[in-house]
Structures are given as structure tokens and as C-alpha cells.
Chain A
Amino acid sequence: MWAKTLIGFLVSLLLYASVAVNVLHLLPLPQDILLLIAFVGGFLFWGVAMTVFYCADSLWRPLCYGLALLTVSAGVNCLFYFNVLGVAV
């Protein structure tokens, strides 16, 4: 349970941060609305992601899915951060 807790907490936290940043970049809404969506929805997402870790039989499956999703999301973060798409951050 300790392994699930620690690894699940870290991976879901990184995933939450990465997805929240993407929400701000991708959705065509005013910034204050996006901040509220990312703020409230982000915490719910984080909690759900952690619950998935706990409900799985082993740590590996949610960890693999989590890391895969994190890789994709972090990749999108990088595209915006280094201004690859020509969109100002």
C-alpha cells in the first residue's frame, strides 16, 4: 500500500500539473474561466487518478498508463513552452 500511495501520489500529481497547464493553453476561453476550470477540475482529476492507482490489482498497470499519458501531456507542454507551434506562451 505504501508503494501505491507514494508512486501514485507523485505520478498523479505530475499528471495533474501537466494536464492543467495544457487546459490553459488549449481551450479557447477567457483566462479567468480557464484558471477556475483548471483549479477545480484539476484537483478532481488528481483525486480520480489516485483512486485508479488504489483500485488496480497491481501498481504496474496504472503506472504504465499514467506514465504514457504523462509523456504525451508533457510533450504538448514542451511544444507550448518552447513555442514550437508558433503560439505565444
Chain B
Amino acid sequence: MSRPKKKKKGAVRNAIDAHGWVGLVISVPLFIVFWAGAITLFYPEVQRWASLPHFPLQASDRSAGLSAAVDEAIARNEFDPSRRLSINLPGEYTPYLRISMPVYDSPDIAAKARAERILRRETVSAGGDPKDVVIDDPAPRSRQWRNVLVDPGSGEILTDNSPFKLARFLDRLHYSLMLPQGLYIVGVMTFFFLVIVFTGIVIQFKNMIRNFFLYRHGKTLRYKMNDLHNVVGVISLPYGLMYALTGLMFNLSIVFQLPMLLFVFDGDRNALAEAAGFGRASQAVSYVEKPMPDLNVLLAQLESQSNAKIRSIRIHNYGDQNALIRFTGLEQGSFDSYIDRIYDHSVDAFPAHLNEDETNIMSDGTSLLFSVHMGTFAGVDLRLIYFLLAMGFCAMIIAGNVLWIAKRNKKQEYPKTLRVTRGLTLGGCVGVVPATALAFLLERVLPLRLEGRDDWVMWGFGLMLLLSVVFAFFNGSYKRFIAHACCFSVVILAMLVLVDVLWFGTTLAGLWVQGFHQPLAVTASLAMCLAALAYTAFRLLAGESGEEKPAMLAVKQPQHS
């Protein structure tokens, strides 16, 4: 007796199944990544909105002495000179002079490390080798970082550790979901997003042109969601493909590096880094003290010679004879021509062997792709387009979830499983909106001196997301749930806008007059989001009590006789 042959479903049918299944599984992290990424496009603006009302500036210039500011910042903190010190110059990304420095965990550890350094210096001055110095219980390396904010005009230190971490939190949420090994988790998820894009192309290939603008307004929610999903998906296809590919490259480059390292470069990491154009110059600490050069002089010299705007300075082996000072910036009038110059303190010059102008297609290509990913190659208008496309993607993810749940609602199978899925997917996705609103509110109202202020913002976000999942689990109608989530976000945003107007209104207006437009622009954007969410909630609640209620929306409970 022959076994009955399994009926073939065809590539498109299989692609639809895979598209829906993979999409549902990764919907929540994908939504968070897109949502946080959309806000991260305005990282400088959010950062300025958070910090400038608390520490207003008169003007963002570079008149203050850089070296004096760095010396003062080091004197006020337990700086670990064995690690890198970074300086972000005031400009497009920060209005302040920001000094990021590694600091020891406690003054005792700092004192111990200082004693070890003195011992090694004495050994060197006596003609010995610092490596010969054996210390039984060496001081542990620094594990904390401090971001010192300096007024670039007066040189006054505004705070020893910037408490404004919202923009950074959203950025980290974007690329790592704030999880351990999150970089790789997001990388794998991005790979499946790439697969979703490809399966979407397989599904829509024949109808891509014919149904390009098809949107059946008068039909049921399922048709509308289907059309929304398809139209946004097809229109934003190049954007989605670019994001999937570049995101994969940034987060999962390890799967490329490993085989290259093992089978092409014989395990030599430096050779691979050199071939890829990412070789890093380094020098061992000499344990010979030498006063650091005037950074303002070096900066002015480099900017005039290279016709470039330097954005950041990184100093290795600070205070040592073998210190290296690395200047990075952008050539004037260019969007992807970065300059990278290294000053060798031991020879008091920018030596040719550390500053060879070699074109490397790999490093140039990846920095170009990074610019494309972050939308940094044009002005605010491009970032707004990116933002709208990202929001379109978020809407598409919600539409995909609604489609999947509506289909299962109709069949009335496994109501408990359906509730869990609805809670985890729809609750997880939609809950990100009020969670972000709450994070913004906490960033604004929490006292600056509060211990673990950034943790409060992070926990506020996480708890709101969890509450949303629980609420979605118990809420029978997902249309009502989305409307309630919008209403809740509106309330939080209204409080935020009120706080901005009542507490910081005068400061924000003053900043606007002085040319710092971003803080007020962000407040206005939040007010616009409030209006858009209120309108969405109103439409959803009106629709819920209207004609479509019996069709698809309510979760039908199993009927008991």
C-alpha cells in the first residue's frame, strides 16, 4: 500500500506561512528596535531637550581652554589613565564640551593604582623594566565611566557626571534591547527581518505593480490591515532592505569575522583589522611622565591644515610620554569623508606612519553604510523622512499582528493561547508607546541628584511595557486595547508638555532666542504626538462602537451550552 502524497502548497503559500510565523515571533523586539531607532534619529535633539533647560548655555563655542578643562575634570575625579579618555567637542551632537573618563570604583583603589604607577616610574627612572615590577594584589581596572559636562564658553564644569541618559537608553534599546549579549540577539532578529523582507517579496512579486496603491477603505478591518501592511511594505521596501542589511552588518559582523580570521588571516586579528581599514595604533605605557600638549593649539592646527571640523578627541596613556592623541572629524562640506589623525606625544608630531592617507574600500564602504543607516548625510528633513518610514514600519508590524490574531479569532480555536499571543505581541508592541512617553516624563521630572536616575527611567519604561502586556491579555478587544494605550500615552504626554510649559517655559523661550531651537522643537513635537494619539484613540473608540464591532474586533468567547 503506497503512502498518500502530501499535497504541495507552493512557494508563495509557504512564504506566506513563514512570513506570518517569523513576523509574529520577532514582532515585539522588531517593533522596539524600529521605534527606538526612529527616536534615536533625533539623538542630539533629545539630548539637548533633556539637558539644556537644566544647564542653559549662552553660546556653543570653543573659546574655553580645552586642556584646562580636561585637567580640572581629571583633578575632580578618580581618573584611570591606563584607559582611554574621550572628549566630544561642542557641535551638532552636543552643545557642551563633554569629557568621558574611566574612573576607579573607590578612592582606595585609585590610591592603590597610583602607588603602583609611582613604583613603576621609579623602576624606569632607575633604568629597570616596568614589567619586572611584580605586584601581588594589583588594583582592579576601572569599570565606571563619568561624563563631565563643561560650559564651552566659560570652561566651568556644569556636572561631574551627566544625569541625562534618556537618549543613550533609547539608543542602546535600539541596538541591544538592553539585554545581555543583546547586540547578537538583535543581530539574529535582524537576520530574520531580512528573511521577512525576502519572503514578502516572494509573496507580493506578482501583485507589486498591480496592487501598488490598493487600499479598500470600505471593507472590514482585516482587509484594511492587509492593505495597510502591503502598501507600507511595498513602498518602504528599499528602506526596509537597507535597514535589514546594514543592521545585520553592524550587529552580526562576528559571523563574518570568525571564518575570515580562521581561514584567511590565520587567526591574526591585527592583520584582519588592517586589511579592513580598522587597524588601531597603540603604544605601550613608558612610565615616564610628560606634560600633555595644548589641545587647543593642536586642534586649530589640524582644522586649518585638513579643512575639517574635528568632532572628538581620544587620548590614550594620558600624562605619559607615549601618549597618543587621536582627532576625528568630518571634512568641511562632506557627509562621509571622515578624517582621522593621530598625534604621537613621544615625538611631538603627527607622524606619517600613523597618518597614512590610504583609501580602504571596506572601511570607507562601511562608514558610508553607517551614514545611510543613521541618516546623517543630510539635514533634519531626511531624518524626518526616515522617522516617518520607521513609524510606517511600526504600523505595519501592528497590522501584521492584528491580521494574525483576527484570523485566529475567526476560527475560535485555543482562546487561551490566543490571549497569551495577543498579550505578548500586541501588548508588547503597542505598550512601547506609553512606555516611551513615561520615560520622557521621568527624564524631565526626576531630580538631577537622584541616585541611579537612569535606572529609574529604564525601570519606568520596562514596568509600563509589562503592564501593557498584562492589560492586553485581559482586554477582550484589541481595538479597544490600542485605543486605551493611546489614551494613556496622551495623558502622560499632556503632563510632560504641561511640565515643560509651566516649569521650563521661560528657559525654553530663552534658549530659542539664543539659537538653541531643539529643546522647544522637541516639546512642540511631543505636543503634536499627543494630538495624533488623541485623534487615533478617538477614531478607534468611535469605530469600536460603530459598524465593525460584530465583524472582526471582539474576541469571541467559546459558547457554553
Contact = CB atoms under 8 A, between A and B. Distances in A.
B256 A20 contact: yes
Contacts of A1: 17-18, 21
Contacts of A13: 255
Given A21-B260, A51-B195, A57-B9, 20 more contacts: A17-B258, A24-B260, A30-B361, A32-B363, A35-B275, A36-B361, A36-B366, A38-B260, A39-B249, A39-B362, A43-B194, A43-B252, A44-B245, A47-B191, A47-B198, A51-B199, A55-B15, A57-B8, A89-B263, A89-B264
- B interface majority secondary structure: helix
A5 B202 CA distance: 18
Nearest to B11: A55
B405 to A, nearest CB: 18
Contact of A54 (B6, B199, B277): B199
B264 A32 contact: no
Given A5-B22, A57-B8, A39 B255 contact: no
Contacts, number: 104
A47 B11 CA distance: 16
A43 B187 CA distance: 11
Given A5-B22, A39-B256, A55-B18, A50 B360 contact: no
B266 interface: yes
B365 interface: yes
23 contacts: A1-B17, A4-B18, A5-B22, A13-B255, A17-B258, A20-B260, A21-B260, A35-B276, A39-B256, A39-B366, A43-B245, A43-B252, A43-B256, A48-B198, A51-B15, A51-B202, A54-B18, A55-B14, A55-B202, A57-B6, A57-B8, A57-B9, A57-B14
Contacts of A36: 361-362, 365-366
B208 to A, nearest CB: 16
B195 A32 contact: no
B168 to A, nearest CB: 28
Nearest to A57: B8
B283 interface: no
Contact of A38 (B195, B256, B266, B363): B256
B248 interface: yes
Contacts of B369: 40
Interface string A19-43: 0110011000011110110111011
A24 B363 CA distance: 16
B253 interface: yes
A21 B340 CA distance: 30
Interface string B6-30: 1011111011011001100000000
Nearest to B253: A39
Contacts of B191: 43, 46-47, 50
Taking each of A13, A35, A81, which has the highest tally of chain B beta carbons within 10 Å of its own beta carbon?
A: A35
Contact of B14 (A25, A31, A50, A54): A54
B550 interface: no
Interface residues of A, number: 37
A30 B555 CA distance: 60
B128 interface: no
A68 to B, nearest CB: 20
A48 to B, nearest CB: 6
Nearest to B245: A43
B259 interface: yes
Contacts of A32: 275-277, 360-363
A16 B244 CA distance: 17
Interface string B181-215: 00000000001001101110010000000000000
Interface in B226-262: 244-245, 248-249, 252-253, 255-256, 258-260
Contact of A77 (B256, B263, B363): B263
- The 9 lowest CB-CB distance pairs between A and B, nearest first, are A54-B18, A17-B259, A51-B198, A47-B194, A55-B11, A32-B362, A35-B362, A32-B361, A36-B365
Contacts of B17: 1
